Structure 1
Amino acid sequence: MTEHLPILLIVLPLVAAPLCVIVHQRTAAYTLALVVSWITFAISIALVAQVSQTGVIRYNLGGWAPPYGIEYLVDSLSSFVMMFVSGIGAIVLVYAPKSVDDEIARSKHYLFYATYLLCLTGLMGMCVTGDLFNVFVFLEISSLSSYALISLGQTRRAPLAAFQYLIIGSIGATFILIGIGLLYQMTGTLNMADIAARVPHENGPRTVLVAFGFLVIGLCVKMAVFPLHTWLPNAYTYAPSVVTCFIAATATKVSVYAFIRVIFGIITPGFAFDYLPLDTELTILALVGIFVASTAAIYQANVKRLLAYSSVAQIGYMILGISMSTPGGLTAGIVHMFNHALIKGGLFMIVGCFALRLGSVKLDDWKGAGKTMPWTSLGWAIGGLALIGVPVTAGFISKWLLLTAAMEKGMWPVAVLMLLSSLLAVVYVWRVVETLYFSEPTAKVLQAKEAPLGMLIPTYVVLAGTFVFGVWTTYSADLAAAAAAGLLGATP
């Protein structure tokens, strides 16, 4: 049975999604989605353990060996990403019922859970497949599901935000598909390892360079790298709170994973960063994105939009680590994927708690809520400290590893700019803290009750992870270091 775990990771949520529609009943659909998501998480943990003991797992669908068949590949990087993505997906579903009841029409609940499982299927598939065209297929499964989930928002702006995301996401997907087609034309295979072995990286046809360009730009759209991030603020702002919790913590991280796979598994760092100046370009875009998005976050009146711009900035840190192309830099980028998933997932869950009790995510409507919703407000303070990067939090570990990697490479100006950018995070986090604790409560806030335990407990589980992995750094950092070593060591 254990040998089939890679395919079960995909099949279970994929089969459960239409079953949620067939049962056509909200409680049954929720129960099915919850059970399947936790089984998926358990399978991911088992795969992490198996990879650490036996090394890379290769699974050939239908018994057909690549390049004729599709290969699923689980290594240190993919198992690590699968574990935290499926973990967030499972915990968010525990948190979901009250928020879903409040923000999504009751008649659409079973459709929500079906679409949620399809999105999880797409994200898991991107992590496990070793076939480049399959990456595109699973990316579109997750993207199409995300469009549908975002459109379920309460306001009329939600369908518009989903449509904007669809248009920009489709452009990015088209770029990716063109790049894949050109690589297939040059190599005659879609297996990523075979493409890397066959494609002429240096002094090859111009077609190869064009293919790489399409892939990089398309994935930058999906990652929301500045300035290709314009779809993200509206998508996060107008989606139902539970949807924002899930996609903010997972979707862009899996796209970053796909970007790492393309750069280090197909393009190779030698071609991308030595032959081409991609490292310089990514560094510039990352730094500009960090400062511009963090500055934009400071001036937001909507807390969801504030966190959305913060996410664009945090993606800049991940790209910064990747662009260094060193074991330390790549480890820092991978660790930050994990840490940011915990931090931003927890903060958006806190926003969902406020949205439930106050009926608003606007900062002015939260004045004085620290008095009537103390545990929810404390959760924001905890998540905010981690986002800033205060010691003993996971955010500190990410930034420390990035600073260390930058200084080891002699990138002192980059290290200084990173420290300065943290001050911007202090400003926008403090704006919310000041509103919660140092403003006179409004009449609505005085009547508000604390968020229900069914939402607070899973929220605090996620937020506790920011301290656990801020103190017990060896687990996440060791997994990321093993993933970085595998990527750099396997590079031709």
Structure 2
Amino acid sequence: MIAHLPILQVIIPLMAAPICLFLKRAQLVWIFSVLVSGVAFLISILLLQQVMDSGMISYELGGWQAPWGIEYRIDTLNAFLLLIITAISTIVLLAAQTSIEKEIAKSKHTLFYVLYLLSLTGMLGIVSSGDVFNVFVFLEISSLSAYALIAMGKDRQALWASYQYLIMGTIGATFMLIGIGLMYQMTGTLNMQDLSQRLPEVAQTRTVFTAFVFVIVGVCLKLALFPLHQWLPNAYAYAPSIVTAFFAATATKVAIYLLIRFTFSIFGVSFSSTTIPLQTLFMALGLIGIFIASTSAIYQTNIKLLFAYSSIAQIGYMIVGFSIATVTGLTATLLHLFNHALMKSAIFLALGAVMYRLGSVQLSNFQGLGRQMPLTMAAIVVGGLSLIGVPLTVGFISKWYLLIALLEQGWWPIAVLILLGSILAVIYVWRIVEVAYFKEPLANQALVKEAPILFLVPIWTLIIANIYFGVDTRLSVQVAQSAARSLFGVTP
């Protein structure tokens, strides 16, 4: 059984999705979905432990040896991503039954879990696969279910957000498919390991340059890198709260994984950072994204929209770390993948609790909420402090490594810009704190109660993780450094 863990990671949620249709009661479907996601989480722990102890795992499907057959290839990088995706999925699902009561029609509850598990399957497949065409297939599974999940939001604007994401997502997927097709034309293979060996022989051809550009643009659309981010704010703001909490912590992280995988493992570091000036371009786009998105967040009155813009800014930090093109810079990016997932899933779950009680997440409705929903608001504040990068939170660890990476290169002006970006986060977090703690409750919501226990348990599990991994960094830093070193070919 241990030998089959790579395929079980993907097959279990894929098989579970249609089974949900045969379970009549909504509560039974919820319990089943939590168990399925929990099993995937346990498998991801075992895979990460195995990779850290024994090295890369290669799993050949159907007994066909790679590159002729499809291969699942698990190394430190994707084992780390599998852990993030399955952990967040399981914790978020704990609050799903309570949350969707108020946000999704009862007749659609079973469909919600089917689509959720399909989206989870797609993300796990993208991360596990060692075949670039399979990456595209799983990307479509994840994306199509994501469009439907976003459209389930109770506000009619959810339909527009879903349609907007559909158009942009389809363009991104098409760009990636064209790039993959051109790579296949030049090498005759779709296996990632095989591509990494054959591409250098034809690296200076126009076809490979074109393939690289198409793939990178397609991935950047998926990860919402400025200025290709227009689909993200509305998608996060108007999707059901559970969907936002899951996607904010995982979807863009999977896209950043693809960016790293294509640039480091397939095309190679020298091609990606020297043949094409990707480093300078990404550094500029990352910094511009931080400032424009953070500034936009300051002026939002819908709190989900505020934190959606914040997510675009946080993607900017990851891209800056990636663009430094050093082991420390990539370590900072991988750390922030993990840490940002903890922050944003906690914040959006807490906003889901506010939505459950108030039916709105407008800033004006937060008046006096610090006294009425103390545990929920405390979670939002701690999550906000983590976004800012306050010591003893995970956000501090990410920015510390990012600043070290910049100073190692002597790029202190960019380090100063990173600190200024954090000050902008202080402003938009403070707006929420001011309204929630320093203003009297509105007359029509004087009897607001604290969130239900099924909300508070997952919210505070994530908040405690925000603090724990901000103090004890052994797991996150060790895995991130190991993944970064292996991608640069540096032996420990």
**Same fold per superposition (TM over 0.5):** yes
Is the aligned partner of 1:55 residue 2:31?
A: no
Deviation at 1:200, TM superposition (A): 3.2
Match runs of 1:260-409 below 5 Å: 260-409=260-409
Match runs of 1:230-269 below 5 Å: 230-269=230-269
Aligned equivalents of 1:455 and 1:168: distance in 2?
32
Higher deviation after alignment, 18-27 or 39-48: 18-27
SS in 1 for 2:285: helix
Deviation at 1:25, TM superposition (A): 3.3
Aligned equivalents of 2:472 and 2:218: distance in 1?
36
Aligned equivalents of 2:433 and 2:96: distance in 1?
25
- Give CA deviations for 1:64-119 in whole Å, capped at 9, x if unaligned: 11111011011111111100110000001111111011111000000000100000
Q: Report the equivalent of 1:212.
A: 212
Q: Which runs of 4+ in 1 moved over 2 A?
A: 22-25, 200-204
Higher deviation after alignment, 19-28 or 390-399: 19-28
Partner amino acid for 1:164? Q
Deviation at 1:220, TM superposition (A): 0.2
Deviation at 1:453, TM superposition (A): 1.1
Is the aligned partner of 1:78 residue 2:78?
A: yes
Partner amino acid for 2:212? F
Deviation at 1:30, TM superposition (A): 1.3
- Note if contact 2:340-2:395 (Cα within 8 Å) is conserved in structure 1: yes
Partner amino acid for 1:257? Y
SS in 2 for 1:200: helix
Q: Report the equivalent of 1:64.
A: 64
- Note if contact 1:44-1:79 (Cα within 8 Å) is conserved in structure 2: yes
**Measured at CA, do residues 201 and 357 of structure 1 come closer, stay the same or move farther in structure 2, by a change above 3 Å?**
farther
Higher deviation after alignment, 133-142 or 298-307: 133-142
Deviation at 1:201, TM superposition (A): 6.4
Q: Report the equivalent of 2:128.
A: 128
Partner amino acid for 2:166? L
Aligned equivalents of 1:301 and 1:403: distance in 2?
31
Is the aligned partner of 1:43 residue 2:43?
A: yes
SS in 2 for 1:199: helix
- Note if contact 1:369-1:445 (Cα within 8 Å) is conserved in structure 2: no
* TM-score with structure 1 setting the length: 0.98
SS in 1 for 2:200: coil
SS in 2 for 1:58: strand
Aligned equivalents of 1:240 and 1:279: distance in 2?
36
- Note if contact 1:29-1:114 (Cα within 8 Å) is conserved in structure 2: no
Aligned equivalents of 1:210 and 1:203: distance in 2?
11
Aligned equivalents of 1:6 and 1:89: distance in 2?
18
**Measured at CA, do residues 202 and 291 of structure 1 come closer, stay the same or move farther in structure 2, by a change above 3 Å?**
farther
Partner amino acid for 1:427? I
Deviation at 1:444, TM superposition (A): 3.0
- Note if contact 2:342-2:462 (Cα within 8 Å) is conserved in structure 1: yes
Aligned equivalents of 1:24 and 1:177: distance in 2?
39
Aligned equivalents of 1:24 and 1:189: distance in 2?
45
Aligned equivalents of 1:429 and 1:402: distance in 2?
22
Deviation at 1:202, TM superposition (A): 7.1
SS in 2 for 1:41: helix
SS in 1 for 2:110: helix
Partner amino acid for 2:75? D
Q: Report the equivalent of 1:146.
A: 146
Partner amino acid for 2:307? L
SS in 2 for 1:72: strand
- Note if contact 2:186-2:202 (Cα within 8 Å) is conserved in structure 1: no
Aligned equivalents of 1:401 and 1:386: distance in 2?
15
Partner amino acid for 1:275? T
Q: Report the equivalent of 1:13.
A: 13
For structure 2, list consecutive stretches of 5 or more residues without a partner in the other structure: none
Aligned equivalents of 2:332 and 2:216: distance in 1?
21
- Note if contact 1:372-1:445 (Cα within 8 Å) is conserved in structure 2: no
Aligned equivalents of 1:158 and 1:201: distance in 2?
47
> What is the count of residue pairs matched by the alignment?
491
% identical equivalent positions: 54
- Give CA deviations for 1:17-73 in whole Å, capped at 9, x if unaligned: 011123243122212111100000000001111111111111000011111101101
- Note if contact 1:367-1:445 (Cα within 8 Å) is conserved in structure 2: no
* TM-score with structure 2 setting the length: 0.98
Q: Report the equivalent of 2:87.
A: 87
Deviation at 1:411, TM superposition (A): 1.3
Aligned equivalents of 2:77 and 2:295: distance in 1?
32
Partner amino acid for 2:393? T
Match runs of 1:146-165 below 5 Å: 146-165=146-165
Aligned equivalents of 1:301 and 1:202: distance in 2?
52
SS in 2 for 1:130: coil
- Note if contact 1:354-1:360 (Cα within 8 Å) is conserved in structure 2: yes
Aligned equivalents of 2:265 and 2:298: distance in 1?
38
Deviation at 1:269, TM superposition (A): 1.5
Partner amino acid for 1:405? A
- Note if contact 1:202-1:271 (Cα within 8 Å) is conserved in structure 2: no
For structure 1, list consecutive stretches of 5 or more residues without a partner in the other structure: none
Aligned equivalents of 1:214 and 1:24: distance in 2?
45
Aligned equivalents of 1:345 and 1:57: distance in 2?
30
SS in 1 for 2:58: strand
**Measured at CA, do residues 439 and 201 of structure 1 come closer, stay the same or move farther in structure 2, by a change above 3 Å?**
farther
Is the aligned partner of 1:22 residue 2:30?
A: no
Match runs of 1:440-459 below 5 Å: 440-459=440-459
